[in-house]
Chains A and B, each alone.
Chain A
Amino acid sequence: MTSDTSLRQTALHDRHLAGAARMVPYAGFSMPVQYAGILQEHAAVRHRAGLFDLSHMGQFELTGDAVAEWADGLCTNAVATMKPWQARYNIFCNERGGAHDDTIFYRLDGRWLLVVNGANVDKMWDLLNDALPANGIELQSFHGKRALIAIQGPKSVEMLASHVPVDIGALKYYFCTETTVDGVPALLARTGYTGEDGFELFVDGDAASGLWKNLLDRHSGEGLEACGLGSRDVLRLEAGMPLYGHELTEEITPIQAGQSWAVKLNKSFTGRDALEAQVAAGDYSRIAGLIMTGPVPAREGYAVQHGGQNAGDIRSGSRAPSVENKNVATALLDPGAAALGTELEVEIRGKSHPATVVPLPFYKRSQPSK
């Protein structure tokens, strides 16, 4: 447990301490890295459901008639074509095409919610403010004031259903609705970052602690577990989802990160020309999935070689329970080393360890949500 008083606390901090979570500094907050253990929490999310505190992430709201057109000029994915109550993954790039941040846009009733990575809150706040037109668009931050609770896993619909007065099973994947959860006003979205079905609940900070307790009290007997950021990282890595600072950075573009599906080159936005040139040239280093052949896990920063030549470096690595318990990793690789099936060597403590390039994601759930 950290006693660093410079760290901020989420509305769920006392719940984390009461649950004996191990707390670590993360994005300026004291956050739970694990409760019962990463493997146990991982299993809960893959087979039942897990509860995550994501209140460290930035929540900005935008209002005004021109938000969609304005935002479309700033980020890679289409905003203007979003339907009301739809959510969409999006990336804000610099002029070189590198990523400022990857985000989720939620189109609400006359306003827009933008969720940004906790580590990028200040950067994104400044970026958006600097880009605001003189009038017509209002930007407001709820960072630290509003909580974000995620319930993720195949049992999340059945566990959450009795707490909500609407049919959440009918809510489509990447859509949201305003409702109540245990009587607390909430924006409920069928989104998440674990590779499982699940929901994210945006609620007022004052209401979060009671809601967290209700959910755990009611459903721990069915296998709901409080989870930390450690298991979330393993889950998202298995699901092939980039984590900012690892697979996406100011230097790594969405095209390199394999997120070209979220880049709409048929519109104008910051970084578009650089990304178009990168696509046209085709000879860019790119994020690839690796499976280690041996028992040693690959970790961020380890050098990767191909035929005795430096070919890139590891960006994330972990033991992957959903991938036959093998060690998986992502690496930023030279194009000649990134083809599926390529045999590589990862340098670990002075020794070479074999790895093979495999498709991403490593893990895909068998039954996607609606």
Chain B
Amino acid sequence: MGRPEELLYSKEHEWVRVEGDTATIGITDYAADSMGDVVYVELPKVGAGVKQFGTAGVVESVKAVSDLYAPVAGEVVEINDTLENDPAAVNKDPFGSGWLFKVKLEGGTPPEGLLDAGEYERLTA
């Protein structure tokens, strides 16, 4: 699976797609593979504020519980509620239909402190 060049990445294995003042967030293929079969995702509520690198939810695989961190700060404006019925999309298509939530960026500015694709590649090599 290709790892999109245009995304930003966190050291905690989330990815961020910035479009205007909104960031779409998911977990990377590396995280999804490491966790194994995802069976439940607990996402933040729409309207909730999230802090950069703060806890935003939980991703559960068959046998393990993993915290989900927000790689950016802002207000949650949308969640991927199709995951309620199809949490396996996180494994099957982590950069596509397995996206998790969208955040309106605090101050409308691009996030800092994240990795580009090359840096993330080196982190997970």
User: How would residues 4 to 45 of chain B score, 1 for a CB under 8 Å from any chain A CB and 0 otherwise?
Assistant: 000000000000000000000000000000101101101000
Q: Does A297 contact B (CB under 8 A)?
A: yes
- Measured in the bound complex, the distance between the Cα atoms of B3 and A69 in whole Å is 64
Q: Which residues between 206 and 241 of chain A lie within 8 Å of chain B, taking CB atoms?
A: 230, 233-234
Residues of A within 8 A of B37 (CB): 37-39
Contact, CB under 8 Å: B62 / A230:
yes
Check A39 against B62 for contact (C-beta < 8 Å).
yes
A296 within 8 Å of B (CB atoms)? yes
Q: Which of B58, B63, B84 contacts A234 (CB 8 A)?
A: B63
CA distance A37 to B63 in the complex (A): 11
**CB distance B36 to A297 under 8 Å?**
no
Give the complex CA separation of A295 and B41 in angstroms.
10
Contact indicator B62/A234 (Cβ below 8 Å): yes
Q: Which of B24-78 contact A (CB under 8 A)?
A: 34, 36-37, 39-40, 42, 58, 60-63, 65
Give chain A interface residues in 282-331, CB to chain B under 8 Å.
295-297, 299, 318-319
Q: Is A349 an interface residue (CB 8 A)?
A: yes
Q: CB-CB < 8 A to A37: which residues of B?
A: 36-37, 91
A349→B62 contact, CB < 8 A: no
Among residues of B, the one whose C-beta sits closest to the C-beta of A229 is B63
Expressed in whole angstroms, the minimum distance between the Cβ of A262 and any Cβ of chain B is 27
A318 to B42, CA, bound (A): 16
Contact yes or no, B63 A318, CB < 8 A: yes
Contact present for B58 and A297 (CB under 8 Å): no
Contact between B58 and A349 (Cβ–Cβ < 8 Å)?
Answer: yes
Is the beta-carbon distance between B36 and A295 smaller than 8 angstroms?
no
Contact A299 to B65, CB < 8 A, known contacts A38-B37, A39-B37 = yes
A45 to chain B, nearest CB (A): 14
Which residues on B sit within 8 Å (CB–CB) of A234?
Answer: 62-63
Query: Contact partner of B62 among A22, A38, A295, A296, CB < 8 A?
Result: A38
Bits for A134-161, please: 1 = Cβ < 8 Å to B, else 0. Answer: 0000000000000000000000000000
Please state if A318 and B40 are interface contacts (CB–CB under 8 Å): no
Contact B60 A34 (CB under 8 A): no
Q: In the assembly, what is the distance between CA of A84 and CA of B14, in Å?
A: 58
State A297–B65 Cα separation when bound (angstroms): 9
Closest to B41 in A: A295
Partner of A297, one of B34, B39, B91: B39
A296-B42, A297-B39, A297-B40 known; A38-B63 Cβ under 8 A: yes
Min CB gap B55→A, angstroms: 10
Choice from A22, A38, A233, A295 contacting B40 with Cβ under 8 Å:
A295
**CA separation between A37 and B90, bound complex, in Å?**
14
Which residue numbers of A lie inside 8 Å of B, CB to CB? 22, 34, 37-39, 230, 233-234, 295-297, 299, 318-319, 349
Ordered by A's residue number, 22 sampled pairs between the chains whose C-beta atoms are within 8 Å are A22-B34, A22-B36, A34-B36, A37-B36, A37-B37, A37-B91, A38-B36, A38-B62, A39-B37, A39-B62, A230-B62, A230-B63, A233-B63, A234-B62, A295-B40, A295-B84, A296-B40, A297-B60, A297-B65, A319-B39, A349-B42, A349-B58
Beyond A37-B37, A39-B37, 5 additional contacts (C-beta under 8 Å) are A230-B36, A299-B65, A318-B62, A319-B39, A349-B42
Closest A-B pairs by Cβ, 4 of them? A319-B39, A38-B62, A39-B37, A319-B62
Measured CB to CB, the residues of B under 8 A from A are 34, 36-37, 39-40, 42, 58, 60-63, 65, 84, 91
